[in-house]
Structure 1
Amino acid sequence: MRRPAASPPGLWIIVTAAAASISLALGMRQTFGLFLLPLSAEAGISPAVLGGAVALHNLVWGLAQPVSGAIADRHGAGKVMAAGALLLAAGVGLPALWISAPAILVGIGLLTGLGVSCCGTGAALAAVGRAVPPERRGEMIGLASAGGSLGQAAMVPLASSLIGAVGAVATLGILGLSLLLILPAARLVEWRAPPQRPGQAATGLAGLPALARMALANRDYALLTGGFFACGFQLAFLTMHLPSHLALCGLPTGLGAMALMTIGLFNIPGSWLCGRVSNVMQPEIALGWIYALRSVAIACFAYATPSYAGTLVFAAVMGFVWLGTIPLTSAAIARRFGVADLGALYGLCFLSHQLGGFLGAAAGTVLLAAAGSYQAFWPVMIAVGVAASAMNWLARPPLRAIA
């Protein structure tokens, strides 16, 4: 007896609510790189402080994601997402009320990391995965991820305009208030959610260590997790440091915001298409091609003469595969282990992603302080992507996909 899926109206409510939560949570964090130089000029906050806070944010997000995913699997995604909304608003609002290095480290580094783990992709997409029939799971997860890209496309230019109009500190306060809009989305994400299949209740927080040992003993899940490290490494570096890199190359200051917005716009069709691909292709094969395409794009961008048009082409290519790894990774996990513990298992895999994000953001910050440029970092970005392609292509499909 297969677990029933949500009704069509309920399904679209769940997908829309998940997309709204992801859109606000990830759109907010996508703006961090825009504050690097303005906070230094306006409030005397060293770029190393904000860079370190963003690195800490990535690490906290990764460590908290398996925990928040396990709690959401057992007790409901809506409750976890509502708590995350409050943590996010507090984390962004704290530096607005008390602009200082400790406030940035605690607010952006710790609180927003916890908040995004609760209302970003993990719990929301796991709720979608449980609500849809298996034959549409990849497509619907991809659609929710694509909708989440609207936040990046909208919040980056909004934050850039606000920084120019009212200053960086005030902009943090406005963003903090906007994050409270996640609360109604959290209430709707479990709209008439179907009951758990008998005998398939989620493991929950108490069983998380045993679940992690079981999953990581699976060779192909371990390869998938290792490949996800590269995704976080590349994306966190670009999110945090691409605007500064462009400014150091002598390009217009607004180009960084334009590039991040372009990434968000092209990620909308890209995430949806990647979700569709998971229905017809082994997800790990598709993931390998995504990392290969990223590596080629990074190489072309790094070793070409910096230009306005070249930057936007690079942003468009990267945007098309920016979050496409998420529906593919979720689909690969669901095929192997089912959806009862999808939040926890995706969270465990995502921990590797965020360890990569921590190293990518932190290494870029250290390199900028030591060398004054990012030129030495691009070969590392390429090598990490090539390694991720190899790991995913080595993964074998499950003997029997689990509905």
Structure 2
Amino acid sequence: MGQFEIQREKIHKIGAFQIIVVVAAACLVHGVMQGVHDNYGIMLNGLLSITHVDYAGISFCIGAGALVYGFAQPFLGMLALRKSNVFVIFIGILFTIVGLAITPLCRNICTLFIFFGLVLPFGTTGLCFGIVMGAITPVLGERRAAIVSGIVQASAGIGDALMSPGLEKMISDFGVRTAMTVTAVPFLVMVPVALWLGKKNRAYTVAARDKKTIENQSLSSILKNAFVDRDYRLLLIGFATCGFNMSIIESHLFSQYLSYGISGKTASLTLTVYGIATMTGAVVVGFLGTKFRMKNILGCVYAMRVLISLAFLILPKTVPFAFLATALLGMSGDATVPPTSGIISRKFGAEKMAVLYGFTLIGHQIGAFASSYLGGILVKMNMGYDPLWTINMILAIIASIASFSIRNNRNPIGNV
């Protein structure tokens, strides 16, 4: 056994209390970030009144941010591989705070595009699931991380459940400037958390840098090896459709419910339900991934979205419908992440997961940009939201077929 393997075995022998603390730290970082990332739609309505930018313009900024969130991930993942995941987390904290603080001061499309469309999304990218899991997987070991991934992704639901009604209340009572400034405060709390994670991760990082097979690989070579793999290409197809679905929720669902005559308070409560449901869905799928083939779980989640989209097209849009539909969207929302990241980690190794999972986010965020911007155009043209759900249903069918088509490969860790 080489020095790297010996060092890794020592690190993985940690007690239950340490595991709990590591997971709690990861959940804090990812959950608060996701609470911001998933509530651009609530911020949109607050920004309309002070930025002098219309609905379509702000939707374009959100769409641009979706592209940033995708395209920046593989590069930040590579930076994490060369430096450390915690280093990238610090970058994320800094940019997120600046984006939240400056966005409410913007008064035209150019400045709004820079801070709301570029700076803020770049910051949240540095705190994304792939980076956070890349920071804790070496400490926990891949077998523990397979279960923990669902818990960490579920923390996104905590962010939604707490921050959706909180943001709506603050924007209504004090304005979007105060709301976004207050939202920046939790990111300051992340600084000592990131320092602690860095200390925990340092021993692994030192050992990993001695492993020449990682040290000598470039971003292009890692991606080239991945794209040769048919299953990775199928994951990219599925995750691109996932982005289209998620951006409907994040950018337009709140406004959509308002257009049905549902009050802002009730609409924000549906997003709280969404947050709770995402926690449940992600945790359940994380545990199911240890019992069943991940590709089958992934295919079923996408199939669930087909039925939800059909419901939005044919059922009456009442308050009970809003709560039930949002809950189902939550159950299927983040549930794609644990099996997708799990398949990548098992096929290519935890060390490359931040890079390769990050690259799947490019397709995901291209889909997110499409639905975010298209939704703004459709609303401006008075065409409503039905075309979005029709496209989403077709894409979910494609994603489900692609996921079920992933091969049942065996590898040293387990079945995909």
TM-score by length of 2: 0.91
Distance 2:213 2:364 in 1: 23
Identity %: 23
Amino acid at match of 1:319: G
Determine which of 247, 254, 279 is the counterpart of 1:236: 247
Give the match for residue 276 of structure 2. Answer: 265
Amino acid at match of 2:108: S
Give the match for residue 377 of structure 1. Answer: 388
Bigger drift between 94-103 and 155-164 goes to: 94-103
Equivalent residues of 1:126, 1:343 under 8 A apart: yes
Amino acid at match of 1:168: V
Does structure 1 residue 358 correspond to structure 2 residue 369?
yes
TM-score by length of 1: 0.94
Equivalent residues of 2:142, 2:350 under 8 A apart: no
Determine which of 82, 90, 98 is the counterpart of 2:98: 90
Distance 1:166 1:202 in 2: 54
Does structure 1 residue 122 correspond to structure 2 residue 133?
no
Does structure 1 residue 307 correspond to structure 2 residue 318?
yes
Give the match for residue 33 of structure 2. Answer: 25
Residue segments in structure 1 that go unaligned for 5+ positions in a row? none
Deviations 1:71-123 (A, max 9, x none): 11332211110110110111121122344322221111101121111112121
Give the match for residue 172 of structure 1. Answer: 180
Bigger drift between 198-207 and 181-190 goes to: 198-207
Amino acid at match of 1:346: Y
Q: How does 1:385-400 map to 2 (within 5 A)?
A: 385-400=396-411
Determine which of 13, 23, 37 is the counterpart of 2:21: 13
Distance 1:110 1:205 in 2: 31
Equivalent residues of 1:291, 1:388 under 8 A apart: yes
C-alpha displacement of 1:293? 0.7
Equivalent residues of 1:239, 1:260 under 8 A apart: no
Bigger drift between 167-176 and 223-232 goes to: 167-176
Bigger drift between 223-232 and 187-196 goes to: 187-196
Does structure 1 residue 246 correspond to structure 2 residue 257?
yes
Q: How does 1:210-221 map to 2 (within 5 A)?
A: 210-221=221-232
Give the match for residue 158 of structure 1. Answer: 166
Determine which of 183, 187, 198 is the counterpart of 2:191: 183
Distance 2:213 2:38 in 1: 32
Q: Describe the shift of the 1:270–1:102 C-alpha distance in structure 2 as closer, same or farther (beyond 3 A).
A: same
Distance 2:199 2:326 in 1: 36
Does structure 1 residue 288 correspond to structure 2 residue 299?
yes
Q: Describe the shift of the 1:386–1:204 C-alpha distance in structure 2 as closer, same or farther (beyond 3 A).
A: farther
Equivalent residues of 2:25, 2:197 under 8 A apart: yes
C-alpha displacement of 1:353? 1.1
Equivalent residues of 1:87, 1:115 under 8 A apart: yes
C-alpha displacement of 1:197? 5.6
Distance 2:37 2:29 in 1: 13
Amino acid at match of 2:142: P
Distance 2:87 2:102 in 1: 23
Give the match for residue 343 of structure 1. Answer: 354
Determine which of 133, 142, 145 is the counterpart of 2:141: 133
Residue segments in structure 2 that go unaligned for 5+ positions in a row? none
Give the match for residue 111 of structure 1. Answer: 119
Amino acid at match of 1:254: K
C-alpha displacement of 1:188? 2.5
Aligned residues: 403
Give the match for residue 344 of structure 2. Answer: 333
Q: How does 1:29-48 map to 2 (within 5 A)?
A: 29-48=37-56
Equivalent residues of 1:136, 1:279 under 8 A apart: no
Distance 2:217 2:174 in 1: 47
Does structure 1 residue 52 correspond to structure 2 residue 63?
no
Equivalent residues of 1:74, 1:201 under 8 A apart: no
Deviations 1:158-208 (A, max 9, x none): 100101110123222222333323222222334423524687467469700
Q: What RMSD over aligned residues (CA atoms) do the two structures have, in Å? A: 2.0
Determine which of 220, 224, 242 is the counterpart of 1:209: 220
Q: Describe the shift of the 1:29–1:198 C-alpha distance in structure 2 as closer, same or farther (beyond 3 A).
A: closer
Bigger drift between 272-281 and 37-46 goes to: 37-46
C-alpha displacement of 1:334? 1.3
Distance 1:126 1:285 in 2: 24
Amino acid at match of 2:150: G
Give the match for residue 65 of structure 1. Answer: 73
Distance 1:198 1:242 in 2: 45
Q: Describe the shift of the 1:25–1:34 C-alpha distance in structure 2 as closer, same or farther (beyond 3 A).
A: same
Bigger drift between 194-203 and 340-349 goes to: 194-203
Equivalent residues of 1:263, 1:319 under 8 A apart: yes
Higher helix share: 2
Q: Describe the shift of the 1:121–1:61 C-alpha distance in structure 2 as closer, same or farther (beyond 3 A).
A: same
Distance 2:348 2:13 in 1: 20
